């Protein structure tokens, strides 16, 4: 794989760690809007020193918003006893301060996850729920694939585009971004 400074990853967060969250653990606000208890945890474990720094992160797709039959999204099904449903697939574009092998970079961000932590879990000091990629399904998108996806998301009102800057480099080993800071407003299901 080539070395690049601009790398886009489609994370496939289809497995979980932590207790499945019962409906009673969600507040009414959280049941109405999953963004209220959700955060994207970007994890970067560089291969050694000196390593490239992540200086910018752009959320292309929030991993939550469904798009027709193509993207399931991540949502609350209020009819279920365990209402958290779907498979979050955020697409994140990383800008590095210098080129790095794409495959090596993918391994460095492999532990990126979605963290679900409700108000009830916080109050009771309970363990968070994490959606992670345990099977290695996350993938690098080519520039052409990324641009095609952006066009598709724009047509379907699902393009996020929120950018976070890190002039000194994103903190290594984890940066949490609450979904309320980047995710599109959920559509009712």
**Domain edges within the chain:** 3-181
Please enumerate in sequence order all residues whose Cβ is within 8 A of that of 111, keeping only pairs 6 or more positions apart, or say none: 43, 45, 132
With residues binned 3-state (H G I as helix, E B as strand, rest as coil), the percentages for the chain, rounded to 5, are 20, 35, 45
Model pTM score: 0.92
- For residue 33 the two structure tokens come to 């809007």
Give the pLDDT of residue 187: 59
* 3-class SS of residue 64: coil
State residue 189's pLDDT score: 47
pLDDT of residue 16 exceeding 80: no
Structural element, H or E, at residue 144: helix 143-155
Residue 116 per-residue DSSP state: E
Contacts for 30 with CB less than 8 Å, ≥ 6 apart: 36, 37, 76, 118, 119
Residue 144, phi then psi, degrees to nearest 5: -65, -45
**DSSP string for residues in 70-86:** TB-EEEE-TTSSS-EEE
Instruction: Please write the tens of the pLDDT for every residue from 128-186.
Output: 999 999 888 999 999 999 999 999 999 999 999 999 999 999 987 779 999 999 999 86
pLDDT at 15 over 80: no
Q: How much is the pLDDT for 138?
A: 94
Residue-level pLDDT at 2:
79
How many Cα atoms sit within 13 Å of 112 on the Cβ side? 28
Helix, strand, or coil here: 56? strand
Q: What is the pLDDT of residues 51-102, one digit of tens each?
A: 899 999 999 999 999 998 778 888 888 888 999 888 899 999 999 999 999 9
């Amino acid at each position: 794989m080539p070395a690049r400074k601009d790398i886009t990853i489609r994370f496939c967060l289809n497995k979980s760690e932590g207790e499945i969250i019962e409906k009673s653990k969600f507040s009414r606000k959280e049941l109405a809007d999953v963004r209220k208890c959700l955060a994207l945890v970007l994890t970067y474990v560089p291969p050694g020193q000196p390593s490239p720094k992540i200086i910018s992160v752009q959320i292309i797709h929030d991993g939550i918003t469904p798009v027709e039959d193509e993207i399931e999204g991540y949502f609350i099904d209020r009819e279920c006893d365990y209402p958290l449903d779907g498979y979050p697939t955020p697409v994140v574009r990383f800008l590095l301060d210098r080129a790095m092998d794409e495959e090596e970079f993918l391994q460095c961000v492999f532990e990126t996850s979605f963290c679900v932590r409700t108000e009830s879990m916080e109050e009771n000091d309970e363990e968070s729920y994490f959606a992670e990629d345990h099977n290695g399904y996350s993938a690098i998108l080519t520039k052409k694939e990324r641009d095609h996806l952006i066009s598709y998301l724009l047509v379907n009102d699902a393009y996020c585009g929120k950018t976070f800057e890190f002039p000194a480099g994103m903190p290594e080993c984890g940066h949490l971004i609450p979904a309320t800071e980047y995710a599109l407003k959920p559509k009712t299901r």
